[in-house]
């Protein structure tokens, strides 16, 4: 079993973003059912955000309510939270003042339901603040005092990882990775993580939903979808139709493997860890229903032979 911050986690984690950060979030009961299914299937590496939703209904608020109902799950969850956005500017702000504000707010929103946040990361690097200033503060005031377990990085370049390890122990790096998005395999990020023994938390392993098979044509995309409002190129008309040709190829392979396209895509990401010179990779597919969580984490997974290509 993989380990993060000294704790065992399942080979597949769980992304919380879609449970609170969407135009119409699922009901709390539906979210709880999905979360409970993830725990039941051993998907205990959970990834959320202070800014995944409104201040009164984000990942931390939902998690606090979940743990009020299921307190026995608190010690099972290895929790990674991203924060650091300045609520006034809506920009990443790693100044000491905003670092304390963000961390204190995240901790307070859990209301003591969980002993501590296992990993904390800024959504992006703040180039205006020296890395050692931010990390020294977090280490001294939060890690060493037991308020959080450690510092992770999100959406960083390889050179940032090489610099960060000089100032702190980096417990994980979060990055996008899927059959559609393989940048970190080629730009030095995966290699840097392997060099320092840092696990990668791989978000969007099913291509932001495109590899689930639920979208067949452009009109299948929900009109209130963040995929459209945020103008992801992959989901724009013209691009969408071309990408669906690639999805059809994945569906053909999945059929031969007797699994769903999502299961194939997730297991491809997970299997990359077995390539020589690769770090541990933990995909964190998001889902808003128990059935989808069951498919992503509890279903049959095909054997994929890793290669160097």
Catalytically active residues are 52
Structure tokens at 265: 């895509």
Question: In 3-state terms, what secondary structure has residue 47?
Answer: strand
- For residue 112, give every residue at least 6 positions away whose Cβ sits within 8 Å of its Cβ, in sequence order, or none: none
Question: In 3-state terms, what secondary structure has residue 163?
Answer: helix
Backbone angles phi, psi at 7, to 5 degrees: -120, 140
Rounded distance between C-alpha atoms, residue 296 and residue 37, angstroms: 11
Rounded distance between C-alpha atoms, residue 175 and residue 269, angstroms: 12
Helix H or strand E encompassing 226: helix 226-229
Q: How far does the chain reach from its first CA to its final CA, in angstroms?
A: 25
Residue owning tokens 């990020």: 189
Least Cα distance to 269 among 241, 292, 301, 298 occurs for 301
Rounded distance between C-alpha atoms, residue 206 and residue 196, angstroms: 27
Rounded distance between C-alpha atoms, residue 2 and residue 18, angstroms: 25
Evaluate whether 50 touches 304 at the Cβ level (below 8 Å): no
Rounded distance between C-alpha atoms, residue 213 and residue 229, angstroms: 21
């Amino acid at each position: 079993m993989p380990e993060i911050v000294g704790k065992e986690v399942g080979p597949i984690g769980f992304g919380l973003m879609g449970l609170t950060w969407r135009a119409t979030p699922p009901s709390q009961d539906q979210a709880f059912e999905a979360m409970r299914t993830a725990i039941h299937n051993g998907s205990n590496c959970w990834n959320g955000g202070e800014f995944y939703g409104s201040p009164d209904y984000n990942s931390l608020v939902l998690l606090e309510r979940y743990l009020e109902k299921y307190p026995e799950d608190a010690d099972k969850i290895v929790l990674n939270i991203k924060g650091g956005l300045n609520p006034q500017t809506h920009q990443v702000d790693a100044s000491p003042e905003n670092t304390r504000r963000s961390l204190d707010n995240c901790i307070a929103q859990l209301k003591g339901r969980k002993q501590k946040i296992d990993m904390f990361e800024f959504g992006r690097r703040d180039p205006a603040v020296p890395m050692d200033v931010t990390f020294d503060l977090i280490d001294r005031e939060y890690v060493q005092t037991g308020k959080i377990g450690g510092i992770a990085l999100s959406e960083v370049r390889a050179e940032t990882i090489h610099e960060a390890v000089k100032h702190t122990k980096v417990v994980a790096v979060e990055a996008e990775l899927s059959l559609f998005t393989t940048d970190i395999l080629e730009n030095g990020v995966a290699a840097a993580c392997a060099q320092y023994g840092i696990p990668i938390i791989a978000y969007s392993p099913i291509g932001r939903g495109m590899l689930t098979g639920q979208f067949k044509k452009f009109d299948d995309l929900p009109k209130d979808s963040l995929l459209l409002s945020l103008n992801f190129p992959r989901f724009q008309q013209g691009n969408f139709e071309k990408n669906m040709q690639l999805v059809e190829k994945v569906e053909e392979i999945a059929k031969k493997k007797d699994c769903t396209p999502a299961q194939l895509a997730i297991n491809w990401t997970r299997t990359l860890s077995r390539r020589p010179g690769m770090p541990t990779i933990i995909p964190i597919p998001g889902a808003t229903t128990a059935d989808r969580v069951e498919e992503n984490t509890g279903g049959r997974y095909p054997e994929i032979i890793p290669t160097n290509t």
